Structure 1
Amino acid sequence: MKKIGHFLAASIIFSAMSPVQGHAGDTEVKLGVLTDMSGIFSDANGKGSLVAAQMAVDDMAGQLAGFSVHVVSADHQNKPDIGAGIARKWFDEDGIDVVLDIPVSPIALAVQSIAEEKDKIVLLSSAGSSDITGKACSKNTIQWTYNTFALSNVAGRAMVERGEKAWFFITTDYAFGHALERDATAAIEAGGGKSLGHALNPIATPDFSSYLLSAQASGANVIALASSGGDMQSAVKQAAEFGIQAGGQKLLGLLFDVTDIKALGLDVTKGMLLATPFYWDRDDESRAFGQRFMKIHGRAPTMHQAGVYSATLHYLKSVAAAGTDETQAVLEKMRETPVNDMFARNGTIREDGQMIHDFYLVEVKSPSESKGEWDYYKVLSTVPGEQAFQPLGSCPRLANKG
């Protein structure tokens, strides 16, 4: 039997003492940040996701009278069986009310199934498969930050509109990668483009040479990387060594973040188009959050970490408004209340569990354009959430309601 990953206990952030009118149930709110603390997604998630959750709890101090709030975290080691085992223990033995973050879609799908069985809440800032709010939708899960449809739709359509219509995919061979390629293919075909094929790589692949050679030989205008984290970084580095961009082919990372730019450097990534729901230097409010986060964590917040903060804050506001941490009462408050914070403006939570909010099409700056560390993006346009995300309609639970 595999050993469950180590737990990183966070401190109790605050404990308010005065009673809440109409409060029902227990007075202890427990949040679990389930993430990758040591693997290929630890830069974009990891300890920074725990920092983000703690910041949100700090910001709610004094607004949750009658409740104490506790945050814990665990490393799922990017393995669905370990992630599911942690979640089940959290729900059965540790009284966790809500699980946050969860990079890696198969782990998220396993956890949300357990959460529905136990009537607990899952707030996903890092699992991106659009199936999570589609064929696998759950009444207890909210997909907060992004999904594969929105990433593909915003970046894919922009590339096709620029005349880049022939694509080849290098796809990480698991649920997220397959969903990203599927959704990107639909987006480019809708714009008049086409896919010339794909190469599938296992997760945590060190050598992308054979996949890059296939992509190079395909003659595609765009080589799209349907991957993330360390896999995507390795592919971009090795593509530069192969001279792929110098040869005229465009490289597109379908899930790219500021930590990836930091790891790769602007010389390698300059000019790339990206889709993102968050950039720390976008406006005054996001900038203030980013600077606070950097003082604590030493790195700029990624979109995933910003999503953890936003989801945690909205959850705790809803607990305060409901006067209880009872699952369905809190979810009802979350759905009926617009999301307004440094992450989203007038965000809404749809019946299928998708949080709808704006996306941004950005271009990576050149070294001469950047004013310093973490100054990486030029925001080219804002894409309203209704245009970025898939239409409502593929969630079987909703179809069965009537």
Structure 2
Amino acid sequence: MSVRSLAVGLAAVLAPLLFSPVAAESPKPLRIGVLNDMSGIYADMAGPGSVIAAQMAVEDFGGSVLGRKIEILAGDHQNKPDVGSAVANRWIDEDGVDVIADIPTSSVLLAVQEIGRRKNRLVLASTGGSSDFTGKFCAPTGIHWTYDTYALAVGTGAPLAKDGPWFFITADYAFGHALERDTSDAVRKAGGEILGGVRHPQGANDFSSYLLQAQNSGAKMIGIASSGADQIATIKQATEFGLPQRGVKLAGLYLHITDIHGIGLQDAQGLILTQAFYWDLNDETRAWSKRFYERHKAMPTMGQAGVYSSIMHYLNAVKAAGTADTQAVVAKMKATPVNDFFAKNGVIRADGRMVHDLYVFEVKKPEESKYPWDYFKLVRTIPGDQAFRPLDEGGCPLVKN
């Protein structure tokens, strides 16, 4: 056989391999990182449940977009900004992550916000709450989905303003500071009085000295500006101290349904809380939540529901934009109303705030609860344009006067 004949023969054999779908390079997957506290004080309100919510969104969407498989990565930031920043940088630089979602602990959230800004990656905040995220630290790559400290203050602080005077027991980190600041502003604006406050480290076990200071202040309303296990422990110990029996009211400024489950209705009854979502609100919320419960064995928190909603909206925007380019997708997300079981006619503003209705609930008495996780009764609905800070008051550089 001649050299020419051999070359022709090899070409005939290799051609189908070279140009077959198997040989062609597959598109890189579109990766979404769910970053939160997987085993610490915020694991119940976010943690593995947020990862499940993200996976449900991907499955319901269909598993791929623009020919790219969608993958969910899970990371534990341990409530430490340096750890969270390291995970975020590695995900973006080495794993090609397009979006980082969830992110409780506001100090971590604000650190990741800056990484997203520098590296042009979308940050979808659900359980991180500082209103500074869409205020002075806003970014064109950051969207705040579920709630923020301003909204909690409007929902819980303002209506209880004159039940005081107030004293705050505050977690000593970014979220606690923002929640106390925004609630204090709302209380004073509504004509209430602030006597003072005390701050505690994250993950404290004994709140007796803080409760004693609150009691000695003469306050009639204790604002608990913390979350997760810290808030549960504060409420339980306040009840053990007999403060409610002495006429001192407790304002749990950032409570989740999992917190009420942990506290129990006997101690939690009568608490007022502001939520972006409740599993038993209507047929749509019940249908999704029961699917979630089958996989997680707990009803979803508002943050976990927000993770699903935000990721689904993102994926629909990628499909509609025909690209995963961050700026194009953000523009499409802001141009498209949010309509799902989580929010109706939600709008993403220029500062990244997703504006939607919020709900004020009262925790039921034990005898009022008729079935498992039947914990809340609706007090009022707050329209989105009243729940969230006015666009021109946040100090976001993206907002043009």
TM-score, normalised via structure 1 length = 0.91
**Alignment correspondent of 1:211:** 210
**Alignment correspondent of 1:258:** 257
How many aligned positions are there?
A: 376
**Alignment correspondent of 1:381:** 380
Write the letter of the residue equivalent to 2:290.
Answer: Q
1:3-402 mapped onto 2 (5 Å cutoff): 28-61=29-62, 64-160=65-161, 163-393=162-392, 394-398=394-398
What is the CA distance between 1:194 and its match in structure 2? 1.4
- Supply the distance in 2 between the matched residues of 1:333 and 1:194 (Cα, whole angstroms): 44
What is the CA distance between 1:342 and its match in structure 2? 1.0
What is the CA distance between 1:43 and its match in structure 2? 0.5
CA displacement, residues 24-81 of structure 1 (integer Å, 9 cap, x when unaligned): xx65211000011110000111000000000111110178352210111011111110
Q: Which has the higher helix share?
A: 2
Gaps of 5+ in 2: 1-26
CA displacement, residues 121-177 of structure 1 (integer Å, 9 cap, x when unaligned): 0000011001111111111000111000000111112213xx413111000001100
- Supply the distance in 2 between the matched residues of 1:175 and 1:74 (Cα, whole angstroms): 21
Write the letter of the residue equivalent to 1:318.
Answer: A
Gaps of 5+ in 1: 1-25
Identical aligned pairs, as a percentage?
52
SS at match of 2:244: coil
Question: Deviation above 4 Å: which 4+ runs of structure 1?
Answer: none
- Supply the distance in 1 between the matched residues of 2:63 and 2:84 (Cα, whole angstroms): 33
- Supply the distance in 2 between the matched residues of 1:88 and 1:298 (Cα, whole angstroms): 33
Write the letter of the residue equivalent to 1:285.
Answer: E
- Supply the distance in 1 between the matched residues of 2:66 and 2:178 (Cα, whole angstroms): 42
**Residue pair 1:165, 1:188 contacting (<8 A) in 2 also:** no
CA displacement, residues 349-373 of structure 1 (integer Å, 9 cap, x when unaligned): 0100111010101000011000122
- Supply the distance in 1 between the matched residues of 2:313 and 2:92 (Cα, whole angstroms): 21
- Supply the distance in 2 between the matched residues of 1:90 and 1:225 (Cα, whole angstroms): 35
- Supply the distance in 2 between the matched residues of 1:312 and 1:302 (Cα, whole angstroms): 16
Pick which of 390-399 and 298-307 moved more.
390-399
**Residue pair 2:34, 2:103 contacting (<8 A) in 1 also:** yes
Write the letter of the residue equivalent to 1:199.
Answer: V
SS at match of 1:180: helix
CA displacement, residues 101-130 of structure 1 (integer Å, 9 cap, x when unaligned): 001001011111011111000000011001
- Supply the distance in 2 between the matched residues of 1:112 and 1:398 (Cα, whole angstroms): 14
Write the letter of the residue equivalent to 2:116.
Answer: A
- Supply the distance in 2 between the matched residues of 1:275 and 1:219 (Cα, whole angstroms): 26
Write the letter of the residue equivalent to 1:263.
Answer: G
Write the letter of the residue equivalent to 1:216.
Answer: Q
**Residue pair 1:150, 1:389 contacting (<8 A) in 2 also:** yes
- Supply the distance in 1 between the matched residues of 2:141 and 2:287 (Cα, whole angstroms): 31
What is the CA distance between 1:398 and its match in structure 2? 2.4
Write the letter of the residue equivalent to 1:34.
Answer: L
What is the CA distance between 1:396 and its match in structure 2? 3.8
SS at match of 2:391: coil
- Supply the distance in 1 between the matched residues of 2:142 and 2:324 (Cα, whole angstroms): 15
Flag the structure with larger Rg: 2
Decide whether aligned partners of structure 1 residues 241 and 325 sit closer, same or farther in structure 2, where only a CA change above 3 A counts: same
Decide whether aligned partners of structure 1 residues 118 and 291 sit closer, same or farther in structure 2, where only a CA change above 3 A counts: same
**Residue pair 1:38, 1:46 contacting (<8 A) in 2 also:** yes
**Residue pair 1:60, 1:316 contacting (<8 A) in 2 also:** yes
